């Protein structure tokens, strides 16, 4: 199975997605700034290349002041998010984490609705091109904090802390792979042939009643993992029933799709980056729970 190798295969909301370069290995188009080719998985940018321009994605040196492609001022590319919250604080704090999981900054969540986004939100991250202008909403109610996606381009991802019973339409983020779960239903009995000839074919595993579809950045389907009762499926970078050797953000053995009667349950197998579920409707955030908004990893803590 193949797919994007560095960022989750999702569309950015900025126009930089239209700027492409050619992969030196296979010639496929690659969005500027991505270090790996989404078609063949080969590295496009040299290791140690400078950070990407937040406007167009072109790689830039550490001391470069302006982007060579679009002329954007790179002096503010690491600027802190803007916070414009009002009202008394609630019992919650949102913590911004870096790639290693270390704390970067803390933001008290006031009573009432608080939006997070790239522009026009109470908590703004203007340089995050993966984030929609108004991306997600946080709402404290009593002793609970609720999270709701506001129809963002890339969705909001909530990391599971215990086995999750999959329902039709769920989307999982495993490493950098977006996998969509669909129920197929039980196939009906096949009518016997008139001349009593027996059909050839495998009887094991049993009939597939669900599937996981690997989605590309444009939302189209790539590979399909079929699920049948009594059969557990393991996913990983180099171990398991289905492997993704081109995905460095996936652990060697990352997750399991466990069969429980006619249902299937997603389980994190102690992976480094976790397993996330796309938010549908409104979800409750437990203390210590993590969620991904655009390119920002956030954690909820008591105030």
Angle at 178 between CA 223 and CA 264, to 5 degrees: 80
Count of other CB atoms within 10 angstroms of residue 282: 11
Burial 29-47 (b: 16+ CB within 10 A, else e): ebbbbbbbbbbbbebbbee
Average pLDDT, integer, range 88-114: 90
| Omega before residue 205 within 30° of 0, cis | yes
User: What pTM does this model have?
Assistant: 0.69
Report DSSP state, residue 163.
Answer: -
Residue-wise pLDDT for 183-222, tens only, equals 987 655 556 667 777 767 666 666 889 999 999 888 899 9
Residue 49, exposed/middle/buried by CB under 10 A (0-12, 13-18, 19+)? middle
Domain with CATH 2.60.200.20 in the chain: 82-155+279-302
pLDDT for residue 50 is more than 60: no
pLDDT for residue 107 is more than 50: yes
Class of domain 157-185+205-277 (CATH, top level): mainly beta
78 vs 224 pLDDT, higher one: 224
Burial 237-273 (b: 16+ CB within 10 A, else e): beebebbbebbebbbebbbbbbbeeeebebbbbebeb
Residue-wise pLDDT for 119-140, tens only, equals 999 999 999 999 999 999 999 9
Long-range contacts of 199-202 (CB under 8 A, 24+ apart): none
pLDDT value for 90: 79
Which residues are CB-contacts of 38 (< 8 A; sequence separation ≥ 6)? 3, 4, 5, 9, 28, 30, 216, 217
pLDDT for residue 84 is more than 90: no
- Determine whether domain 82-155+279-302 maps to CATH 2.60.200.20: yes
Mean pLDDT of all residues belonging to the chain? 80
CB 141 within 8 A of CB 149: no
């Amino acid at each position: 199975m193949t797919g994007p190798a560095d960022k989750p295969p999702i569309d950015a909301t900025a126009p930089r997605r239209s700027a492409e370069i050619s992969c030196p290995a296979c010639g496929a188009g690659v969005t500027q700034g991505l270090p790996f080719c989404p078609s063949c998985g080969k590295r496009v940018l040299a290791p140690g290349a400078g950070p990407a321009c937040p406007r167009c994605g072109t790689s830039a040196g550490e001391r470069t002041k302006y982007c060579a492609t679009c002329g954007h001022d790179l002096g503010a590319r690491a600027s802190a998010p803007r916070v414009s919250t009002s009202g008394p604080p609630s019992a919650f704090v949102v913590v911004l984490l870096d790639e290693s999981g270390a704390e970067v900054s803390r933001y008290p969540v006031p009573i009432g609705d608080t939006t997070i986004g790239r522009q026009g939100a109470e908590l703004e991250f203007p340089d995050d091109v993966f984030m929609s202008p108004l991306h997600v909403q946080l709402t404290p109610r009593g002793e609970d904090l609720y999270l709701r996606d506001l129809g963002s381009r890339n969705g909001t991802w909530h990391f599971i802390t215990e086995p999750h019973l999959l329902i039709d339409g769920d989307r999982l983020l495993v490493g950098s792979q977006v996998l969509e779960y669909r129920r197929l239903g039980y196939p009906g009995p096949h009518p016997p042939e008139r001349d009593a000839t027996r059909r050839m074919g495998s009887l094991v595993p049993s009939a597939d009643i669900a599937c996981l579809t690997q989605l590309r950045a444009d939302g189209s389907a790539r590979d399909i993992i079929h699920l049948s009762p009594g059969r557990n499926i393991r996913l990983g970078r180099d171990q398991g029933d289905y492997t993704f050797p081109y995905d460095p953000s996936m652990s060697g053995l990352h997750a399991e799709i466990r069969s429980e009667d006619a249902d299937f349950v997603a389980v994190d197998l102690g992976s480094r980056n976790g397993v996330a579920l796309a938010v549908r409707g409104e979800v409750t955030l437990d203390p210590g729970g993590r969620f991904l908004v655009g390119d920002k990893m956030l954690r909820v803590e008591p105030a």
